[in-house]
Structure formats: C-alpha cells, structure tokens
Structure 1
Amino acid sequence: MKSFSFSLFSITETLNPAVSSRATTITDHFYNFHKPGLADQVIRAFEISGIRGVFVRGIMDMGYEAIVESRDHAIKEIPKQIKMWNGAADGRIQVVIGPVSPFSCSKESYETARELADKHNVLVCTYISQTPGEVEEIRRKYDKTPIEFLHDMNFMGPDAILMHCVILTKDDFRILRETESNVVHCPSINMEMGCGLTPVPMLLDEGINVAIGAEGIRQDMMAELLTRAGIKGSLKGFVS
C-alpha cells in the first residue's frame, strides 16, 4: 500500500506542471524489482490518475546490489508484464523495455532487451552518453563509445529512445542518423549535474529526431522549453 501511495503521490506531483504545460503523458523508468508487486502499484497509480502512462520496464543486473535484478528473472517476468499491462486502462498505458544504462546493465541484458522488444513489438529505451565518467568507463571496458556499444548490441533503431546523448563523436552522429534512433534532451537535469548539454542543433542538422524531456518529479515541460530556448546558443563545441 505504501508503494501505491507513493506512486500516486509522485504522479500527482508531476501532473500539475505537466498539465499546465500541455503534456498528456508521464513516463516512469522503473527498475526497483527487489520487492514483488512494486511495479503493479505504479501501473495501478497510472490507471487511477487518468493520465497516459509509459511504463519503462527497467533492467538493472549490475551496480547497486539492493535493487539489482538477475537477467534470468527479467527474461521470465518481462513477457508477463507486457501481456498484463501493455494497452491497459483502455490503451492509456504503454510498456517499453528499458535497460538502465551501460554501467548498470550487462551486454547480455541489452541483447535480451532488443530480442524481447522485437518479439513483443514494443519500444526500447535507455540512458546513454550523459556524463564523462560514463563515456570513459565504457571506453575502458569495451573500447567503444556508448553509442557504438549500443549499435554493436543491435539496440539502435527507429523504435529506440535514447535519453541524454550529451557526449557524442562524429561517428556517433552517423550511427544515430543511419539507425534512425531517437534522442531525448533533458536540459535542466544535465545542467544540475554539470555534465553538459545535448548538441540539439547538430543532431537536427543531421536529420536525427530529437524530443525534449523533463526528468524527475515536478519538472515542468514549459520550463524545460524556456530553458532550452535560453541556452540554444551555447550548445556548440560538444562534438569530439
């Protein structure tokens, strides 16, 4: 009951700025599967709130041990959750498969996510290329950029949603363009973290689809748009 109350509270807190800025959909990238039933409470909160909800079913098989989920468990549970929740609430709820990031998911989990998404005809989503530390770690482990890593996993494509993409090489731009992958720019959270800004003008010049997002409770989409307008002149120089 506590998890349901918190989920409903979070959605309610998000609804005020979302509605005022004409947003009609809230996305929850959920990866806390250490306790059975938590995800069901999020879905229930979506149903009761009346908002359209995108439930990004996270996979996290590395990192913080308290919430790590084995890949075998994810493989077992994801098809059930897609069957149960995708299209629920008269079609208001959509399920997306979302391995969290390359430093919290194994290569095998990314491959699994792509296989399951193709099999069940759902989208995929991940956080990628947000911080210098992440980029350095992926280069150290795989001798690739994060985008190259995803490409090698066959994760990229028109059905792939890539959050952030702050640090990109020229080859990364080419991969994004050729795979027709989608980028989501979240300026406020990136400025709060001090990790830089998504090179939106250059992405658009390459014909890459870019959306704007607001990450976190009570992030106002209109404020994000105003932030974006105020910083658009300072985005040059983010290509290495």
Structure 2
Amino acid sequence: HQYLHPGGAHDDAVLETADRLGVRLLLARGWADRNYEPRLTETVPEVLERTSAVARRWHGAGDGRIRVETAPLIPWGCSDEAVRAATAASRSWGAGMHVHCAETAVEVEMNLQERGMRHVHWLDSLGVLGPDTQLAHSVWLDSDEIDLVAARGATVVHCPVSNMYLASGVAPIPEMLRRGVSVALASDGPGSNNRQDLFEAMKVAVLLQKVHHLDPVILQPEHALHMATRGGARAAGLGDRIGAIEAGRLADLVVVDLNSVFVAPVHRVVSALVFNVTPREVRHVVVDGRLVMRDRDLLVADEQAELRAAVQCCRELFERAGLGQPLRLD
C-alpha cells in the first residue's frame, strides 16, 4: 500500500527498484481525497490521472511481475465518488482494489455516524466488494460482515504484528476461516511493525489467536503457512499461478536451511517453518524461475552498498529535519 507520493516520482522509483531486483510486486497506489493532510490530498481527477499514468507505465512490466492497482487509503479519507471511480479504473486494466478496512473500532464508529454502515457493507453498497478486493486488517468485522466478505470472495489481509504494535485489536481469523473467507498474511509497513518479516508474521498470527482465545489449538501452523502462500497469491490475483509448488505454476520459491541450531532437530516441517525459522535460515530465493539469492548471497544488488546508501540518506534527512543524527553502526 504505497500512499506517499512526494514530488510525484516516488511510485516510479519503487517500481523501478522492484523491476531491477527481479521481485514480484503489486503496487497498490494509495490516496485520500478528503479529511487528510492537505499537501497529500488528491482530487478525484488527480487520483484517476495519476494512478492511470503509473499503470500505463508499469502494469504488466517485467513479464508480468510488476502490477499496479488503486488503493483508497481509509474509509474516512475517501469519498464514495472517488472509491467507485478509482476502482472502476483499476478494473479496466485488469487489476483490483486495496483498502484499509475496520482496522480500529473508532474508524468503524466514524463510518456508522457518517454513512450509517459498517465498512464492509459500505464497500458493498458502492459495488466495489469482490474477488479482486483486498481488505487490509479487518480487525473489527462483525458476523454479518464476515459472511458478506465470504459471499463476495474478497480477501482479508491479516497484519498481526501491526495490530499488536498499534493496539488495534485482534482480528477474528479463526471465525473468518470457518466461514470460508480467504485470508492472506502480511507484515504491514515499517511505521507500524519496524521489520518486514513474514516468518515472524506467521508465528505471531498463530500465537496471538492462542492467547486471545485461551485455546492452544485454535489456529495451527498449517493455517499460517496457507495464509502466507496460497492466501497471498489469491490476494494478488494470482491464485492459480503462484503460492504453491505444483506443475504449471510459476517458480516463486524460497529454499530454507532446516539444519540450523535454531531449527534442528525437525519433527514437523510445517511447525519448524512457522515457529523456528527466521530470515537467517533462507538460503536460496527464486522469482519467476530466476535465481535472485544463492547461498544467502543476493545476486541482484550489492546489499552492503545499498545499506550504506540508506543510512547516509537517513542521516541527511535527520539533519534537514533538525532531529540530530541516527545511531551510527559503522
């Protein structure tokens, strides 16, 4: 969910980097057309023109690895007109829509007061809730909303670490799965998580439900792995092309070393992947059949040089903002 666009070139920079690295990226271009920071607010025509321009340049690039869709930021920051128009535009080039949904109880109450509807019913009333819709967070869905999400085939994007970090609440994931909702797993951004680690997200997703329900078997490692793989593939509109190792699917693979002091001895592979493995155990990565990491060596960029450049950029930003200097690690 890319919703900061300083200078208008940020989206292109992100997409160019993804293309250069050979990764798969669905960029959900975020926006708000009301009730938002004025310098970041876009009018409906601006939303349509800018998102469509990014899509014309990038949607389908990299042999289909790079895709672009619309992403109304938050219900209280987006008008009905803009949500309808932007979703229709995104669907016109074969993409979907990503939106923050019921992340906090306060936001749900705001929608009830203004529109007389909870988030999912509001989206459905606009005609935008469907199999190509990704509902980020969905912490405060009620029973009727869960059934409606299942009926429309939309995907919930579960961000357990972020929900804990911000004290948003605990999403009713076991109930969603029982009712047939497709759930994907995500880390959320660094502003509400600090790290983007899907292994951590898998473990936390299971443990959070256990302690919340005081039930040690309410969510299993298999559920977390499914959300992280097949669930994510479906959310990206590629449910029949990636997300599993099967004949005919694209080769997006992560090879993990289980012979580690943090993992071995292994009794159940799925439990080891969810509860033991961290990014340090990732040995090889393949995207669309191309090896991008081999024996823990990133083949598509100089990782140390990129880290040095990022730290230097951060120092310059802190200096311009008058915040002092970040911690030096060199």
Shorter chain as normaliser: what TM range?
0.7 to 0.9
Are the counterparts in 1 of residues 135 and 154 from structure 2 also a CA contact under 8 Å? yes
Query: Following TM superposition, by how much is the alpha carbon of 1:48 offset from its aligned partner in structure 2, in angstroms?
Result: 2.0
- 1:100-139 matches, within 5 Å, as 100-139=73-112
Query: Following TM superposition, by how much is the alpha carbon of 1:74 offset from its aligned partner in structure 2, in angstroms?
Result: 1.4
> Could you say which residue in structure 2 is the equivalent of 1:228?
205
1:78 aligns with 2:55: no
1:96 aligns with 2:96: no
Are the counterparts in 2 of residues 198 and 235 from structure 1 also a CA contact under 8 Å? no
1:179 aligns with 2:152: yes
Letter in 1 for 2:119: P
Task: Name the CA shift for 1:193/1:225 in 2 (closer, same or farther; >3 Å).
Answer: same
> Could you say which residue in structure 1 is the equivalent of 2:135?
162
Deviations 1:98-147 (A, max 9, x none): 11110111111111122112322111111110101101111110011011
Are the counterparts in 2 of residues 199 and 235 from structure 1 also a CA contact under 8 Å? no
Are the counterparts in 1 of residues 69 and 95 from structure 2 also a CA contact under 8 Å? yes
- Gaps of at least 5 residues in structure 2 are 215-330
CA distance in 2, matches of 1:184, 1:126: 10
Query: Following TM superposition, by how much is the alpha carbon of 1:229 offset from its aligned partner in structure 2, in angstroms?
Result: 1.7
CA distance in 1, matches of 2:124, 2:211: 29
> Could you say which residue in structure 1 is the equivalent of 2:118?
145
CA distance in 2, matches of 1:109, 1:192: 30
Greater relative contact order (Cα < 8 A, sep 6+): 1
> Could you say which residue in structure 1 is the equivalent of 2:271?
none
CA distance in 2, matches of 1:32, 1:110: 18
Are the counterparts in 1 of residues 12 and 54 from structure 2 also a CA contact under 8 Å? no
Letter in 1 for 2:160: P
Structure with more of its chain in helix, by fraction: 1
Provide runs of 4+ in structure 1 moved above 6 Å: none
TM-score by length of 2: 0.61
1:219 aligns with 2:196: yes
CA distance in 1, matches of 2:9, 2:60: 19
Task: Name the CA shift for 1:184/1:235 in 2 (closer, same or farther; >3 Å).
Answer: farther
Are the counterparts in 1 of residues 55 and 68 from structure 2 also a CA contact under 8 Å? yes
> Could you say which residue in structure 2 is the equivalent of 1:50?
22
**Structural RMSD (CA):** 1.6
3-state SS, counterpart of residue 57 of structure 1: strand
> Could you say which residue in structure 2 is the equivalent of 1:59?
31
CA distance in 2, matches of 1:212, 1:73: 31
Letter in 1 for 2:208: I
Letter in 1 for 2:84: E
Letter in 1 for 2:15: I
Letter in 2 for 1:231: L
CA distance in 2, matches of 1:191, 1:64: 26
3-state SS, counterpart of residue 90 of structure 1: coil
1:189 aligns with 2:162: yes
TM-score by length of 1: 0.82
Query: Following TM superposition, by how much is the alpha carbon of 1:235 offset from its aligned partner in structure 2, in angstroms?
Result: 4.6
Are the counterparts in 1 of residues 11 and 54 from structure 2 also a CA contact under 8 Å? no
Deviations 1:139-188 (A, max 9, x none): 11001101111111111101101101100112111211111110011000
Deviations 1:76-111 (A, max 9, x none): 232222121011123221112111110111111111
Letter in 1 for 2:39: A
CA distance in 2, matches of 1:168, 1:32: 27
Deviations 1:32-79 (A, max 9, x none): 335222211111121222221111111211211121111111122322
1:198 aligns with 2:175: no
- Of residues 209-218 and 128-137 in structure 1, the stretch that sits farther from structure 2 once superposed is 209-218
Structure possessing the higher radius of gyration over alpha carbons: 2
Number of aligned residues: 209
- Gaps of at least 5 residues in structure 1 are 1-28
> Could you say which residue in structure 1 is the equivalent of 2:8?
36
Letter in 2 for 1:205: R
